[in-house]
Amino acid sequence: MIELPVSPILAAVPMPLVLIGRDERVISANPSAAQLFGTAAEGWHYITILRQPVLLDCVEAALKTGERREARYLTRDGERDVTYNVVAAPAGQGVLLSLEDISHVQAAGEMRRDFVANVSHELRTPLTALIGFIETLQGPAKKDFEAQARFLGIMEREAGRMSRLIEDLLSLSRVESQERVRPTQKVDVASLVTSASMTLGPQAADADVTLKVVGAEEPVEVLGDSDQLLQVFTNLMENGIKYGDGLVTVEIVPQERDPMLRGPAVRIEVSDDGEGIDALHIPRLTERFYRIDSHRSREMGGTGLGLAIVKHIVNRHRGRFRIESQKGQGSRFIVVLPA
């Protein structure tokens, strides 16, 4: 059996590792540990290297008892908070301290809890309304036909809201499951934009909004998923109709080279002349269930998932999605796809 020196073995492990002898001096530390603690550690007393009480207590207990000790270590790496799972385990005549970055696990858990809480809240409101109206129709309004007609109309709206929410959740789930698989079929963006505008024509007319399409006279091809891109353009145009003030313009602009995508691209801009969006909201608009005006959004049938779906679809197509707006000057939603 070939024995390797300690240092190369530790260096091959990506997580920070520090080997501490019984004399409480550092025998070896890998590059990840040196980067984390900001110093070369070999030969130094572990107290001068680790410094943080939680790490010192963990190592001290393991050295004294010869038993494994675990703890959590919180620090900051640049602009992000990092949580490490710390393990001090007996190793020969000393202790091996390892630090595993579990920030992504905590973030995923927090995201899952927030998601469940948001979905529960979004479903609870219409369900509560439906249950209340059903009880009323079975009791006080049992023979009040005028009230029945009014309540049934409200119940239909609430049921439709739940149906849209479930459809958007399923759509988001499908998009996320395919996000790493890049589409390979050629699709005509101009045809999809035209199709979306025709589908939304009656809705625009009811809202007294003019839907104007520019640049769709000639085919403009990209590699993409036609159903998903149609959903992107439909979502963005529908937002424009809901929050615009009379005019929604969709412009298709082929680009010889996009500096971010480093190649030819197609830019699709959906602009409205509405009241605009405050700059502080723009970075969060693609978060799930984030709304600027929750009551108004729900009244208009919004689920709070539309722009999140758009972002994930554009990411799957290796494109870019950007929102530009100023208060009182309308909004512009820009999708850039590699051509």
Bridge-partner residues for 70, per DSSP?
Answer: 87
Instruction: Quote the pLDDT of residue 3.
Output: 40
DSSP string for residues in 53-67: HHHHHHHHHHHHH-S
The counts of H helices and E strands in the chain are: 11, 12
Q: Do the strands 94-101 and 80-91 form a parallel or antiparallel pair, or are they unpaired?
A: antiparallel
- Residue pair 86/58 in contact (Cβ under 8 Å)? The answer is yes
**What pLDDT tens digit does each residue of the chain (339 aa) get?**
334 455 677 778 888 899 988 898 988 888 888 888 877 678 888 898 888 899 999 999 999 888 899 998 888 776 678 888 989 988 877 899 999 888 888 777 777 787 777 777 778 888 888 888 888 888 888 888 888 888 888 888 888 888 888 888 888 888 888 878 888 899 999 999 999 999 999 999 998 999 999 998 898 899 999 999 999 999 999 989 988 888 999 999 998 888 888 889 999 999 998 888 888 888 888 888 887 765 555 665 567 788 989 999 999 999 999 999 888 888 999 999 998
pLDDT in tens, 107-161: 777 777 877 777 777 788 888 888 888 888 888 888 888 888 888 888 888 888 8
Pinpoint the alpha helices (H) of the chain: 6-11, 31-37, 46-50, 53-65, 103-138, 145-177, 189-199, 201-206, 226-243, 294-299, 306-316
Instruction: Quote the pLDDT of residue 6.
Output: 56
Which candidate, 256, 236, 227, 197, places its Cα nearest to that of 331? 236
pLDDT in tens, 290-334: 877 655 556 655 677 889 899 999 999 999 999 998 888 889 999
Torsion sign, CA atoms 34, 38, 44, 50: negative
Distance separating alpha carbons of residues 229 and 185, to the nearest angstrom: 12
User: Which amino acid belongs to residue 279?
Assistant: A
Distance separating alpha carbons of residues 312 and 124, to the nearest angstrom: 26
Bridge-partner residues for 20, per DSSP?
Answer: 26, 95
